Amino acid sequence: MEKILDIISAKVSQAFAQAGYDAAYGRVTVSNRPDLCEFQCNGALAAAKAFHCAPMQIAQAVAEKLSPEDFELAEAVKPGFLNLRLCGSFLQHYLQAMATTPDYGVEKLGQGKTVVVDYGGPNVAKPLHIGHLRSAIIGESMKRIYRFFGYHAIGDIHLGDWGLQMGLIVAGLREQQPELCYFDHDYVGPYPEEAPFTLAELEQIYPAASARKNVDPAFAEAAHQATYELQNGRPGYRAIWRHIMRVSLADIRKIYDNLDVHFESWLGESDADPFIPDMIARLKAQGSAVESEGALVFPVAQEGDKKEMPPCILIKSDGAVLYDTTELATMVQRMQDFSPDKILYLADKRQSLHFEQVFRAARKSGIVPETVDMEFLGFGTMNGADGKPFKTRDGGVMRLEQLIADIMDFVRKKVVENQIVPPEQVEQTAKQIAMAALKYGDLSNQPTKDYIFDLDRFAAFEGNTGPYILYTVVRIKSILAKYGAWQNLSIQAPESQSEKELMLAITKLAGNLETALRTSSPNVICSYIYELAGCVNKFYHETRILGEENKDRQAGYIALIALAKDILETCISLLGFSAPERM
């Protein structure tokens, strides 16, 4: 379906042409004076310059050409604006078409296209912390938005599983238990099925080893050596690596499942490893990879650079590969496996230099051709009340698991105190509200901005919050349940201002979803549903819906709020949460 602004613009453009002016001046926007009109066109002001006549004269001539069947108001106002209000019947037909067309008639802009969304990005063997939360929440939402538009969207978790942290664990374990067969050069296998550590032990080995490398150069050297040997296939180290992966991944999966965040591809940096030798050979042959101080680098600086642009480092002087290397090799792999039209990367915005470097390298080397779009969506930090990165009460890094548990406790208490649902539904309802609080709290901010995590505010049932949206959906659901069979009723023309405002808000769905898609901004969907929910609640307060005696009129009300509910539920599913039946 055409977007409402496009339809209205076409009508106004035609009127410009009929009045003898260029149709290009007919672009209509949503009014910035909703007290005066719903839409406006400022084209007469520009046309006046080109046609050397008074803008008012043009605006008046155009207004006269507009049909009263479309516009209840088409008025020229000084100095030459065109103020517009739509007829109720126009809205009625537009909404009826939305209600009866799949996905509300939103155009499938991604049909036949594939996008890889690289998000999550946890580092194996390190506990997930809140830094990974935004990646998971925003990435999942972007993936769902792509899917809604018809893209084949592949969520790829891109595990951090090949770097120094793996070598640190090997070196740490070796010190604790040097007698293990993994460290014995003469041992020819098979290696034990059982890991030599539990998850809890693993989570101690890593931070201890990581702290130690900063103060103990010999240990740091051993960890680098272990990383190199692991990457080069030492069997005992690969066996330890597999243990680490299995133990850690089980936990990682659990946490993402709990967040309702799901990946189609569970590949990691290590999976790019087999692609590295060929890639390096190609880059050397091209002349794009060169030796520099014992390392192999890919210079990416170019003329006109305003800041320093260091080269990508492909192979360090000690032989190990780095983040840049696995990043580029992963591109090789993705081009081969998915031939995507686009790759969207999510990571902390402090990684923007890394992505600028590898994007340049990918283009220069032809690893990713110009026809494939690459975008880095760098997100800001989630801060505590003090404006600094969110910490635990004792100042430590907040583990994601802990954060989710804290939010659940907070919401569960509220659900129990307010006696919202029977005891057996408490857990499920609390979960839905908690997810709405957490995800909406995050997504309602522009991804690139930092924000302050404020559970009291995020979990409130009033204000610009996820639970408020859920509350609105639940309110409509309860009216629909009392009404009875509410499907397939017809939308009617509005009779009151609040009804018309609700209808106008509904028409803006497609435009807002497209903006969210094009600008990678789920926050646009949040603002949209906040406005829509506000219109629903205003309409509800000003209208006797269940008490309405005229049955036809009542059916129209029901059709309208049912459409609003469906749209709200569709939008929250794009944000990654869902509404309970009762609240």
Is-contact 239 296, C-beta < 8 A? Answer: no
Quick check: 343 binds ligand ARG (CB under 6 A)?
no
160 is an interface residue for ligand ARG by CB under 6 A: yes
The continuous run of DSSP H or E covering 523 comes out as helix 522-542
CB of 121 to ligand ARG, least distance (A): 3
Name which of 362 and 574 has its Cβ closer to ligand ARG.
362
Question: What is d(CA 527, CA 454) in angstroms, rounded to the nearest whole number?
Answer: 19
Instruction: Report how far residue 125's alpha carbon sits from residue 198's, in angstroms, rounded to the nearest whole number.
Output: 11
Site for ligand ARG in 344-403 (CB under 6 A): 345, 347
Phi, psi of 155 (to 5 degrees): -85, 125
114-118 and 152-156 as β-strands: parallel, antiparallel, unpaired?
A: parallel
d(CA 448, CA 309): 22
CB of 330 to ligand ARG, least distance (A): 6
Nearer to ligand ARG, 37 or 154 (CB): 154
Alpha carbon distance 71, 69 (integer Å): 6
Nearer to ligand ARG, 133 or 420 (CB): 133
Binding of residue 275 to ligand ARG (CB under 6 A): no
Angle at 463 between CA 459 and CA 464, to 5 degrees: 85
Pick the closer one to ligand ARG by CB: 273 or 327: 327
**Minimum distance of ligand ARG from residue 132's CB (angstroms):** 7
* Closer to ligand ARG by Cβ: residue 354 or 553: 354
CB 348 to ligand ARG: min, Å: 6
Q: Which residue is nearest to ligand ARG (CB)?
A: 121
Which residue, 118 or 273, has its beta carbon nearer to ligand ARG?
A: 118
- In the three-class reduction of DSSP (H, G, I as helix; E, B as strand; rest coil), residue 292 is classed as strand
Minimal distance, residue 449 CB to ligand ARG, in Å: 19
Contacts with 376 (C-beta within 8 Å, 6 or more apart), sequence order: 345, 347, 351, 352, 355, 356, 359
CB 525 within 8 A of CB 514: no
Cis? peptide before 190, omega within 30° of 0:
yes
Toward ligand ARG, which CB reaches closer, 252 or 489?
252
Q: Which is nearer to ligand ARG, 38 or 327 (CB)?
A: 327
Per-residue x/- mask for ligand ARG, residues 100 to 119, rule CB under 6 A?
Answer: ------------------x-
Minimum CB distance to ligand ARG, residue 302 (Å): 22
Per CB under 6 A, 158 contacts ligand ARG: yes
Taking the complex as a whole, how short is the minimal distance between the CB of residue 500 and ligand ARG, in angstroms? 46
> Closest by alpha carbon to 327, among 282, 270, 286?
270
CA-based radius of gyration for the chain: 29
The residue among 135 and 444 lying less far from ligand ARG, judged by its C-beta, is 135
Which stretches of 390-432 are assigned E, i.e. beta strand?
A: none
Nearest to 439 by CA among 239, 260, 577, 294: 577
213 CA to centre of own chain = 36
Q: Minimum CB separation from ligand ARG for residue 572, in Å?
A: 26
Name the minimum Å distance from CB 267 to ligand ARG. 10
Count of residues that interact with ligand ARG, criterion CB under 6 A:
8
Contact with ligand ARG (CB under 6 A) among 110, 121, 441, 580: 121
Alpha carbons 327 and 121: distance in angstroms, whole number:
12
If binding is defined by CB under 6 A, does position 123 make contact with ligand ARG?
yes
| Binding footprint of ligand ARG on the chain (CB under 6 A) | 118, 121, 123, 158, 160, 327, 345, 347
